[in-house]
Amino acid sequence: MKILGISAHYHDSAAALVVDGLPVCAVQEERLSRHKNDAGFPISAVEWCLEHAGIAPADLDAVVFYERSMLKFERILTCALRTFPRSWRSFPNAMKSSLGEKVWVRGIIASYLGVPKKKILFTGHHEAHAAAAFLTAPTRKAAILTADGVGEWASLTAGHGDRRTDGTTDITLLREIRYPHSLGMLYSTFTAYLGFAVNEDEYKVMGLAAYGRPTMVDRVRKLIRRTPDGAFALDMEYFDYYTTAARSYSAKFVELFGRPRQQYEPIDFDTPDGRRFADCAASVQRVLEDTLVDLTRALHEETRLSDLCLGGGVALNGVANARILAESGFARVFVPSAPGDAGCALGAALYADRLYFGNPDRDVPYHPFWGPTVDAQELARAAREDGQTVEELDETSLMERTADALAAGRIVGWMDGASEFGPRALGHRSILAAPHSREMRDRLNRDIKFREEFRPFAPVTPIESADQYFELPPGGAGLGRFMSGVFPVRPEWRDRLAGITHVDGSARLQTLERGMAPRLHALLEMYGRRTGIPVLLNTSFNVAGEPIVNRAVEGYLTFRRCGIDAVVAGPFFVTKNASRKATTLQEGMA
Ligand SMILES: [Fe+2]
C-alpha cells in the first residue's frame, strides 16, 4: 500500500511517502524550493517523493493531509466571533488564508495530483504529531505527549500508544488542552516580545535564557494558571494573538514585563534592558520546563510506562526535554528528528497506514535520513568549472585529509548521502569545525552563519565517547541521537571544548552511533586520534536566512560565498584555489 502524507499551509510544508508500512522518503518543501520555512503546497516535495519511489499519482492508495481543515476553520471562525468586534480586522485575513487554502484542501490536492477525492484522507493534527513521535521510535508501548502552538483546536495532548504483538496498533489520546490555551503560544509570545520571529526563532529564546536568571518566574506565572485537573489555562488579558494576527502580546503584558525589544536592537548584557530580556527568556523557559515536567510526571504516574514519546514543536526545546528525562519518572524519552509540523507529513501517512487501514505493524528504521541523496559528481563538476582545487581520494585518505584540515582549524562543509528530515543537521548536511576555542565559535557566527553571538553551537561525538565529555543521565544518549537534549559539558573539559560550551556550561549534544552515519563516525574517530578529543562542532550547512543545503551545488555555492575552507561529498575534497580566493576577496571589497 502506497500512502503519501502532506503537511502544508501553516508553516514548514513537507511530503512523505510510506510504502508497505515503511517510510521511503520525506522532505521539507523549503529544501527544494529554497524558501526557508516554505508554507505553500509542497508540490516540489510531492514530486520528488513520487519520482524517487518511481510511482505515479495514480498508483497512490491514499493521500493524507496532516490536519482536519474544516475543524481548523471552525476554530478560526469561532474565535473570531467570540472576540468580535476586536477581531474584525484579523477575521478577513484569517478567512482569506483559510478559505483560500485550508478549507479546500481536498480540492487542491485532487487538482494538483490528479487523484480522486475519495482517496484523500485527513488526520487530526495532534494525531499526526503523536504518530510521528510514537511510530518512528524504537518502542512498542509508550506514553505520548504532544505540544505545539495550535492544530485545529488542540495545543497539547496526552495519551499512549501500543504496537501489539498481533500486529495491530493503537494510539489513544486521552485528553487535550485547547486553544487559546497553549504552551507553544506562551513561548511564541515571548519570542515575539523579545524581538525574534515567531514560529522560527523560539530556539533563540532558549539560547538567550542561559544568559539570564529566572527572576520573573512569578510574573510569568500570572500568565499561566494551573488548573485543578493538572492542566493549565492562560490569562488571555495578557495576549492578543487570538484577536489579531498583528500582535501576540497585549498592553497589559507590556505593563508587566516592560518595553519589548525591537527586532534589530542589539542585546547587550551590560545594560539593564539586555539583562531584563535575558531574564525574561530564562523565566518563560523555566515555567515551560516546570509545566512540562508536571504534565509528564502525571502521565507517568497514570500510565506506569517506562517510555515517553514527545511530539509537536515544543519538543524541540532540548533543555526542557532533558529535564523531562531527569524528573518525569520515564526511563526513556524519544523525540523524532522532525517533531514539528513538517514531521506531521510522515506522521499522517503512518497514522493512516496503521490505524485507518489497519495494516500490520512494522519497525521504522531509526534514522533521520529520508531526503534527497547528494550527487558528489555534481560538486566536483561545479568546483572544477569554477577553477577550484578538487582532490579525489580513497576513503581513508579522505578521512585523514578532512581530519587534518579540521585539526588545523579549517571549517569544513560536509555532505553525505540522504538529507535529514527535520530542522537539525545530524551528520549529512553539516558544517564541521574544531570545538576547542571561543574564537572558532565567534568566527563561525561572524563569517559564516552571520548570527547573534549569544547563540551556541552544538557538538557531535561518537556515542562511545559521550560520557567522557558530557554529563549524561541514564537515557541521555538516546535523547542525543537526534540532538534533542541539552546536557552539561563535564567541568574539566569546558575549557578545551569552549567552542561548543554554552555560557551555562551546557551543550546540545548529538551522540552518534556508527550505524547511523558511518562516515561521520569514522571522521570523528580520525579527528580524535589527531587531537585527543573525538568531538566536533556540528552546525547546519547553511547561512542565516537560508534553508539547509540539499543538493551538492547548493553546498558548493554556500562554500564559495562565505568563510568555509573546504567542502566534502563522496570521494571529493574541495578547497578554494588561492588565486581564486584572492579574486573573490577583491570582488568582496569592491
Ligand atoms: Fe503542530
Whole-number Å distance, alpha carbon 388 to ligand 1 midpoint, is: 44
Residues 462 and 563 occupy one common structural domain:
yes
Residues 262 and 312 occupy one common structural domain:
yes
pLDDT at 499 over 50: yes
Whole-number Å distance, alpha carbon 336 to ligand 1 midpoint, is: 14
Establish if 165 belongs to a structural domain. Answer: no
Condensed to tens digits (0 to 9), the pLDDT of residues 414-451 reads 999 999 999 999 999 999 999 999 999 989 988 888 77
pLDDT at 98 over 50: no
Which of the listed residues 366, 392, 410 is the one where a domain comes to its end? Answer: 366
Establish if 284 belongs to a structural domain. Answer: yes
Q: In this predicted structure, what is the pLDDT of residue 564?
A: 95
Residue 75 and residue 243: Cα distance in Å, rounded? 12
Establish if 242 belongs to a structural domain. Answer: yes
Question: If you average pLDDT over residues 270-288, what whole number do you get?
Answer: 97
Establish if 20 belongs to a structural domain. Answer: yes
Residues 99 and 226 occupy one common structural domain:
no
Nearest to 318 by CA among 335, 342, 293, 341: 335
Whole-number Å distance, alpha carbon 307 to ligand 1 midpoint, is: 22
Condensed to tens digits (0 to 9), the pLDDT of residues 221-270 reads 999 999 988 899 999 999 998 887 778 999 999 999 999 999 989 999 99
Beta strand pairing status for 536-540 and 458-462? antiparallel
Residues 362 and 468 occupy one common structural domain:
no
Structural domains in the chain (count): 3
Whole-number Å distance, alpha carbon 570 to ligand 1 midpoint, is: 36
Whole-number Å distance, alpha carbon 185 to ligand 1 midpoint, is: 11
Whole-number Å distance, alpha carbon 125 to ligand 1 midpoint, is: 6
Q: In this predicted structure, what is the pLDDT of residue 110?
A: 81
Q: Is 470 exposed, middle or buried (0-12, 13-18, 19+ CB in 10 A)?
A: buried
User: Residue 199: pLDDT band by 50, 70, 90 thresholds?
Assistant: confident
Q: In this predicted structure, what is the pLDDT of residue 296?
A: 97
Question: If you average pLDDT over residues 477-489, what whole number do you get?
Answer: 96
pLDDT at 138 over 50: yes
Nearby residues of 93 by Cβ (< 8 Å), 6 or more positions away: 245
Establish if 135 belongs to a structural domain. Answer: no
Question: If you average pLDDT over residues 316-338, what whole number do you get?
Answer: 97
Residues 192 and 324 occupy one common structural domain:
yes
User: Residue 89: pLDDT band by 50, 70, 90 thresholds?
Assistant: very low
More confident residue, 545 or 277: 277
More confident residue, 346 or 114: 346
Residues 206 and 81 occupy one common structural domain:
no
Residues 443 and 325 occupy one common structural domain:
no
Nearby residues of 288 by Cβ (< 8 Å), 6 or more positions away: 183, 186, 187, 314, 317, 320
Q: In this predicted structure, what is the pLDDT of residue 71?
A: 64
Q: Give SS3 for 251.
A: helix
Residues 112 and 205 occupy one common structural domain:
no
pLDDT at 507 over 80: yes
Whole-number Å distance, alpha carbon 516 to ligand 1 midpoint, is: 27
Whole-number Å distance, alpha carbon 416 to ligand 1 midpoint, is: 29
Whole-number Å distance, alpha carbon 106 to ligand 1 midpoint, is: 20
Whole-number Å distance, alpha carbon 67 to ligand 1 midpoint, is: 9
Which of the listed residues 366, 392, 419 is the one where a domain comes to its end? Answer: 366
Whole-number Å distance, alpha carbon 236 to ligand 1 midpoint, is: 21
Residues 297 and 360 occupy one common structural domain:
no
Supply the pTM of this predicted model: 0.93
Residue 21 region by backbone torsions, left for phi larger than 0, else alpha for psi between -120 and 50, else beta: left
- Average pLDDT value for the chain: 91
Q: Assign residue 378 the CATH number of its domain.
A: 3.90.870.20
Residue 72 and residue 396: Cα distance in Å, rounded? 54
Residues 398 and 528 occupy one common structural domain:
yes
Whole-number Å distance, alpha carbon 230 to ligand 1 midpoint, is: 22
Establish if 130 belongs to a structural domain. Answer: no
Q: Assign residue 288 the CATH number of its domain.
A: 3.30.420.40
Whole-number Å distance, alpha carbon 156 to ligand 1 midpoint, is: 9
Residues 412 and 560 occupy one common structural domain:
yes
Condensed to tens digits (0 to 9), the pLDDT of residues 376-406 reads 999 999 999 999 999 999 999 999 999 999 9
Whole-number Å distance, alpha carbon 410 to ligand 1 midpoint, is: 39
Domain carrying residue 403? 371-575
Establish if 145 belongs to a structural domain. Answer: no
Residues 318 and 356 occupy one common structural domain:
no
Whole-number Å distance, alpha carbon 385 to ligand 1 midpoint, is: 44
Beta bridge partners of 322: none
Question: If you average pLDDT over residues 326-337, what whole number do you get?
Answer: 98
Establish if 580 belongs to a structural domain. Answer: no
Q: Please check whether residue 333 is in contact with residue 308, taking contact to mean a CB–CB distance below 8 angstroms.
A: yes
Whole-number Å distance, alpha carbon 96 to ligand 1 midpoint, is: 21
Helix axes 105-113, 43-53, angle to 10 degrees: 50
Whole-number Å distance, alpha carbon 218 to ligand 1 midpoint, is: 28
